[in-house]
């Protein structure tokens, strides 16, 4: 069932339509009416209708202005315009293609019912399409190979948490669990220029389509890689990438099995495709999150083709001293830690800290004690930097001597507990300051509104421009803190001020309307009666009678 808002300034029209049309049988469980655009805006914020039906000619805010506002603030709301023949072309030009339907006046209840049912049918079709599990499953099945390849590419181009990698691997049906990983890259020497003397014995020598060459190489590599039970093969940025995923944790054994399979692949390419290629082999790692570094090392290995030539397997460990796996507190790890402190839950922060200390346990080599020290100090330094960013100097988060505290720690578990406590203190301070900031923004908005509510131009946009924040952010923040929308608060403020003027002054109604920010006295009278339950005149009369 859907929600609908009907806007027309003629009460007899809205009342007639409410009586004549069986809205529930049309699929609408909640139907409300408004007599003008301003009133409609308040209702839209409260009910968020699925369909808005609005007349164009209305006081205070016409239907086109209302529709434009709704499309900006609630873009999925369907809009139906009620318009006369003389306004039709104007309406089409003003709203362009954002309107679901136009209903020309005069119209009958059955005509509007037909239009509403058409809109409802289109919403049903869209909802059914989005909720059609079989269709979604079929679409997912067809796109799964592409999704898998994108996921594999993401492992060598950006960092992800271990939990995220495992979750996606399981979701996509990919076995990536292992104790040793290596990334290798096959790059084909390709040119778009025509060959002077194409090889008649080899059809591939005359192919100018790089994608076809990569596809052919991938077929050969995949068959061999699968037979050796080594891992995954995929195309990434005009190269063929091979993941070695090994249950073995010994560097020599993993690198040997990788290079044995690569030799077979290279020989097959030379024999069957006769394409000039280079193969780069990256560094060994025990951490699947470090495949990015292994890939980058394989890319560096390819640069040595200028020395060694093409149709070679170039292992970076043979060319550079990169054998020892190192602990690296890189930019991504720092950003992930800082993010979890700033906006993460306690559990998310705990998980990040667990992963950081698991890295230390994973790299087991006594000779790397200095590497451990650097890694831990970089983590602590990241927290100190964050604390300085949020401290105003009046109440430091950490007392002096934080590094002295670090030096007194004896075990890794002690260090982890101490570091987690540092993170927790910074997280608590950020949460406290954020809450204070929220209250400060709302308090400043309230004070500004109280000082300027008599300005007829005052709006949420004006307030946000004064506060230098976005309207979307402010709207949700104000509603959360004050428990009402900003529009409702401004109206309440103006109405209470109007009551005060009626109680304490002899000002005429139109003068009071102007003083509390209404450009149109008639609209003020409409709003006051709706707010107070009586007209301004009746309200003042009631005060006079009660004082007798």
DSSP for 83-127, written as a single string:
E-HHHHHHHHHHHGGG-SEEEESS--HHHHHHHHHHHHHHHHHHH
Residue given tokens 């309230």 in the structure block: 446
From the number of C-beta atoms within 10 Å of its C-beta (0-12, 13-18, 19+), residue 235 rates as middle
- Among 73-87, 182-196, 397-411, the range of highest mean pLDDT: 73-87
Backbone angles phi, psi at 177, to 5 degrees: -75, 130
Is the confidence at residue 262, as pLDDT, over 90?
A: yes
**CA gap 457, 368 in Å, rounded:** 67
**CA gap 181, 45 in Å, rounded:** 53
In this structure, what DSSP letter does residue 195 have? P
Structure tokens, 396: 């430091």
**CATH class of the structural domain 453-546:** mainly alpha
Handedness of CA 166, 170, 173, 176 (dihedral sign): positive
Task: Grade residue 178 by pLDDT with cuts at 50, 70 and 90.
Answer: very high
Is residue 295 within 8 A of residue 156, CB to CB? The reply is: yes
The neighbour count for residue 148, using CB atoms within 10 Å, is 18
Is the confidence at residue 375, as pLDDT, over 70?
A: yes
Q: Across residues 13-36, what is the average pLDDT?
A: 89
**CA gap 240, 188 in Å, rounded:** 9
Least confident piece of the model among 299-308, 317-326, 359-368: 359-368
pLDDT value for 413 = 87
Name the residue with higher pLDDT: 200 or 118: 118
**CA gap 509, 513 in Å, rounded:** 6
Single pTM value for the model: 0.56
- The radius of gyration computed from the CA coordinates of the chain, to the nearest angstrom, equals 35
Beta strand residue intervals within 224-360, DSSP E: 231-236, 239-246, 277-281, 313-315
Q: For residue 131, how far is the Cα from the chain centroid?
A: 22
pLDDT value for 387 = 85
Q: What is the CATH number assigned to the segment(s) 158-193+207-321? A: 3.30.70.270
% pLDDT > 90, the chain:
44
Give, in order, the Cα–Cα distances in Å from 529 to each of 453, 533, 534: 19, 5, 5
Is the confidence at residue 293, as pLDDT, over 80?
A: yes
Which ranges of 269-345 does DSSP label H, i.e. alpha helix?
Answer: 291-302, 305-308, 316-319, 331-343
Task: Grade residue 194 by pLDDT with cuts at 50, 70 and 90.
Answer: low
**CA gap 65, 40 in Å, rounded:** 11
Is the confidence at residue 363, as pLDDT, over 70?
A: no
Task: Grade residue 200 by pLDDT with cuts at 50, 70 and 90.
Answer: low
Cβ neighbours for 390, distance < 8 A, ≥ 6 positions apart: 397, 426, 429, 430, 433
- Among 199-208, 300-309, 446-455, 531-540, the range of highest mean pLDDT: 446-455
Is the confidence at residue 393, as pLDDT, over 70?
A: no
The half-sphere exposure of 157 on its side-chain side, counting CA atoms within 13 A, is 9
Q: What is the DSSP string of 507-521?
A: --HHHHHHHTT-S-H
Q: So where are the chain's domains?
A: 2-128, 158-193+207-321, 331-430, 453-546
**CA gap 444, 338 in Å, rounded:** 29
Which ranges of 5-159 does DSSP label H, i.e. alpha helix?
Answer: 11-20, 37-47, 63-73, 85-95, 109-131, 133-157
Is residue 91 within 8 A of residue 81, CB to CB? The reply is: yes
**CA gap 183, 282 in Å, rounded:** 5
Give, in order, the Cα–Cα distances in Å from 171 to each of 147, 165, 244, 440, 497: 11, 10, 20, 44, 60
Task: Grade residue 366 by pLDDT with cuts at 50, 70 and 90.
Answer: very low
Q: Across residues 287-312, what is the average pLDDT?
A: 90
**CA gap 134, 106 in Å, rounded:** 44
143-164 pLDDT, tens digit per residue, is: 888 999 999 999 999 888 888 8
Task: Grade residue 216 by pLDDT with cuts at 50, 70 and 90.
Answer: very high
Least confident piece of the model among 80-89, 176-185, 306-315: 80-89
Is residue 289 within 8 A of residue 160, CB to CB? The reply is: yes
Q: Are strands 231-236 and 239-246 parallel, antiparallel or unpaired?
A: antiparallel
In this structure, what DSSP letter does residue 7 have? E
Give, in order, the Cα–Cα distances in Å from 544 to each of 58, 501, 524, 534, 539: 35, 14, 21, 14, 9
Is the confidence at residue 520, as pLDDT, over 50?
A: yes
Q: For residue 502, how far is the Cα from the chain centroid?
A: 50
Q: Across residues 501-509, what is the average pLDDT?
A: 91
Q: Across residues 403-424, what is the average pLDDT?
A: 86
CA angle 467-473-476, nearest 5°? 115
Backbone angles phi, psi at 29, to 5 degrees: -85, -20
Cβ neighbours for 503, distance < 8 A, ≥ 6 positions apart: 540, 543
The arrangement of strands across the sheet holding 277-281 comes to 231-236, 239-246, 180-188, 277-281, 313-315
Name the residue with higher pLDDT: 264 or 527: 264
Backbone angles phi, psi at 204, to 5 degrees: -70, -25
The architecture of the domain spanning 2-128 is 3-Layer(aba) Sandwich (3.40)
Q: How many residues does the chain have?
A: 548
Name the residue with higher pLDDT: 245 or 331: 245
**CA gap 533, 522 in Å, rounded:** 16
pLDDT value for 367 = 41
pLDDT value for 323 = 45
Q: Which of 334, 429, 327 is nearest to 383 (CA)?
A: 334
Q: Which of 498, 489, 493 is nearest to 535 (CA)?
A: 498
Q: Across residues 490-506, what is the average pLDDT?
A: 93
pLDDT value for 207 = 63
Is the confidence at residue 75, as pLDDT, over 60?
A: yes
Q: Tell me the sheet residues that pair with 235.
A: 240
Task: Grade residue 307 by pLDDT with cuts at 50, 70 and 90.
Answer: confident
């Amino acid at each position: 069932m859907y929600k609908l808002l009907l806007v027309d300034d003629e009460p007899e029209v809205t009342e007639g339509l409410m009586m004549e049309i069986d809205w529930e049988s049309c699929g609408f469980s909640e139907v409300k009416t408004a007599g003008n655009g301003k009133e409609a805006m308040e209702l839209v914020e409260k009910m968020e209708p699925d369909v808005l039906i609005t007349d164009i000619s209305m006081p205070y805010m016409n239907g086109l202005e209302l529709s434009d506002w709704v499309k900006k603030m609630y873009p999925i709301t369907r809009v139906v315009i009620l318009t006369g023949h003389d306004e039709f072309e104007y309406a089409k030009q003003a709203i362009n293609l954002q309107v679901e339907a136009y209903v020309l006046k005069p119209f009958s209840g059955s005509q509007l019912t037909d239009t509403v049912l058409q809109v409802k049918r289109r919403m049903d079709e869209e909802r059914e399409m989005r909720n059609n599990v079989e269709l979604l499953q079929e679409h997912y099945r067809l796109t799964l190979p592409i999704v898998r390849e994108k996921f594999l590419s993401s492992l060598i181009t950006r960092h992800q948490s271990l939990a995220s990698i495992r979750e996606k691997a399981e979701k996509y049906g990919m076995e990536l669990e292992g104790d040793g990983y290596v990334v290798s890259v096959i790059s084909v020497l390709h040119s778009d220029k025509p060959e002077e003397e194409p090889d008649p014995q080899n059809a591939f020598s005359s192919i100018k389509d790089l994608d076809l060459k990569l596809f052919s190489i991938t077929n050969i590599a995949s068959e061999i890689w699968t037979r050796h039970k080594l891992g995954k093969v995929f195309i990434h940025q005009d190269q063929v990438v091979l993941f070695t995923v090994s249950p073995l944790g010994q560097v020599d054994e993993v690198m040997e099995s990788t290079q044995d399979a690569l030799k077979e692949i290279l020989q097959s390419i030379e024999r069957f495709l006769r394409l000039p290629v280079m193969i780069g082999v990256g560094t060994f790692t025990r951490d699947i999150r470090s495949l990015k570094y292994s890939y980058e090392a394989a890319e560096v290995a390819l640069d040595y083709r200028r020395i060694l030539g093409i149709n070679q397997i170039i292992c970076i460990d043979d060319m550079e001293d990169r054998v020892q796996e190192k602990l690296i507190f890189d930019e991504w790890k720092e950003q992930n830690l800082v993010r979890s402190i700033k906006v993460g839950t306690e559990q998310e922060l705990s998980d990040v800290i667990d992963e950081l200390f698991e890295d230390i346990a994973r790299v087991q080599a006594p000779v790397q004690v200095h590497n451990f020290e650097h890694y831990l100090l970089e983590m602590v330094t990241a927290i100190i930097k964050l604390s300085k960013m949020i401290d105003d100097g009046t109440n430091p988060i950490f007392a002096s001597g934080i590094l002295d505290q670090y030096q007194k720690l004896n075990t890794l578990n002690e260090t982890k507990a101490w570091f987690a406590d540092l993170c927790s203190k910074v997280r608590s301070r950020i949460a406290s300051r954020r809450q204070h900031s929220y209250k400060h923004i709302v308090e400043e908005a309230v004070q500004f509104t109280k000082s300027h509510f008599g300005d007829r131009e005052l709006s949420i946009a004006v307030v946000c421009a004064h506060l230098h924040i976005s309207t979307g952010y402010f709207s949700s923040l104000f509603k959360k803190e004050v428990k009402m929308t900003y529009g409702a608060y401004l109206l309440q403020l103006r109405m209470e001020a109007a009551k005060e003027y009626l109680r304490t002054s002899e000002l005429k109604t139109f003068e009071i309307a102007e003083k509390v920010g209404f450009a149109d006295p008639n609209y003020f009278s409409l709003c006051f009666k709706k707010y107070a339950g009586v007209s301004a005149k009746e309200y003042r009369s009631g005060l006079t009678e009660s004082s007798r």
